[in-house]
Structure 1
Amino acid sequence: MTTTFVLAGGCFWCLDAAYRQMRGVHDVVSCYTGGQTDHPTYESVCTGGTGHAEAVAVTFDESELPAQVVLDAFFTMHDPTQLNRQGADVGTQYRSAMFPADDEQRVLFEAARERAGEWWPGEIVTTIEPLGEVTRAEEYHQDFFAKNPTQGYCLAVAVPKVNKVRAQFSEYLRA
């Protein structure tokens, strides 16, 4: 059974790169959601004025990758105690947020946020917001890390996050 979770935890390039390492993940789409404007673009989202977050829609097969693992990896690959930022990326577009598609996902997301509170010092600021319209980000954002492995941001920010997920979830990595 395939499931899609829409999650935001800073720059979507990092989440995309980390999730693509995991077996059972069939697709990762960098996208914008959680805002109040139609047809957001990278440029408009970067202003912080649209209300959108940079997010990923992760589609995975639960028979290969349990939903709990997908969510625990989410809380491993970003710092959910940073309000409206991840490191040097500052603004509501970089917020930590989860966008459930239904009540069942909401329950899973709430449980995952609770678990993360046991691992992280400080308050978890991850919001659980209604899943509204999801807009696919521009093509150059899709699978950005694989297309630009030597880009400075990828080396400085994405690689450590990918490595952290690889170390903590090694049994769920692609062969």
Structure 2
Amino acid sequence: MTVVKEQTAIFANGCFWCSEAIFQKINGVKEVLPGYIGGTTENPTYEEVCTGQTNHAEAIKIVFNEELVSYQELLEVFFATHDPTTLNRQGNDIGTQYRSEIFYTNGSQKEQAMLFVKILNEENIFEKKVVTKVSKADTFYLAENYHQNYFNNNPEKSYCAMVVSPKVKKFEKFFQEHITK
């Protein structure tokens, strides 16, 4: 019997609807769960998080098979699919809940994430400095049911058609080798 080596990654990179839709397509990703992390309120609601008062970030929790996709590869997708140079903002979404932050679940993830940010900044990969924070994961609160699998369940909604869909198509264009067939 083969033992599957599962690991968990937690990324905050703006709207979790976009992130969930992208990471669901990656070969080796078993599950993507939208939720909230990094704040001060226990069991926050979407409405509370949207106020910016709870200090939570909209985030995704990714369960992945490290034999099929590495944490390094997930970091590559993370940095390629959002703007890590804007503080508390992704496009028209503004507030601390839309910040760029990596929540590591073990020491190896911390080292890899910090090195990745360092290299991006040293090699000036982006026109501006990467502001992505690297923080120890604390309690992850699962988002309400209607946020789960949002893009796949609501492709006709205007936000999905105008914002999520173009991001997913861009991901598919540049990361074909990672897409589940």
| Equivalent position amino acid for 1:4 in 2 | T
Q: CA deviation at 1:115?
A: 4.1
Aligned equivalent of 2:55, options 51, 54, 67: 51
Give CA deviations for 1:33-67 in whole Å, capped at 9, x if unaligned.
00011111101000000000000001111111121
TM-score where L is the length of structure 2: 0.93
Change (3 A) 1:21 1:116: farther
How far residue 114 of structure 1 moved from its aligned partner, in angstroms, is 3.0
Residues 141-152 of structure 1 correspond to what in structure 2 (within 5 A)? 141-152=147-158
User: What is the SS of the residue equivalent to 2:53?
Assistant: coil
Match of 1:136 among 142, 154, 159: 142
User: 2: CA distance between counterparts of 1:57 and 1:114?
Assistant: 23
User: 2:145 is aligned with what amino acid?
Assistant: E
Structure 1 vs Structure 2: percent identity of aligned residues?
A: 41
1:67 equivalent among 57, 66, 71: 71
Residue 7 (structure 1) aligns with: 11
Q: Quick one: distance in 1 between partners of 2:152 and 2:111? A: 33
Equivalent residue, structure 1, for 2:105: 101
Gaps of 5+ in 1: none
* Mapped contact 1:12–1:56 kept (Cα < 8 A): yes
SS at match of 1:129: strand
Distance in structure 2 (CA, Å) of the matches to 1:73 and 1:174: 14
TM-score normalised according to structure 1 size: 0.96
Equivalences for 1:75-86 in 2 at 5 Å? Answer: 75-86=79-90
Q: Secondary structure at the match of 1:110?
A: helix
AA in 2 matched with 1:35? G
- Please, which of 166, 171, 180 is the counterpart of residue 160 of structure 1? 166
Provide the C-alpha distance between the structure 2 equivalents of 1:115 and 1:4, rounded to a whole number of angstroms. 23
**Letter of the aligned partner of 2:164 in structure 1?**
A
CA RMSD of aligned residues (A): 1.1
CA contact (8 A) 2:71 2:109 kept: no
Secondary structure of residue in 2 paired with 1:121: coil
Distance 1:166 1:115, change over 3 A: farther
Instruction: State the 1:108 CA deviation.
Output: 1.3
Give every structure 1 segment of 4 or more consecutive aligned residues whose post-TM-superposition deviation is greater than 4 Å: none
1:112 equivalenced with 2:121 (yes/no): no
Equivalent residue for 2:35, pick from 31, 35, 45: 31
- Of 34-43 and 104-113, more deviation after overlay is shown by 104-113
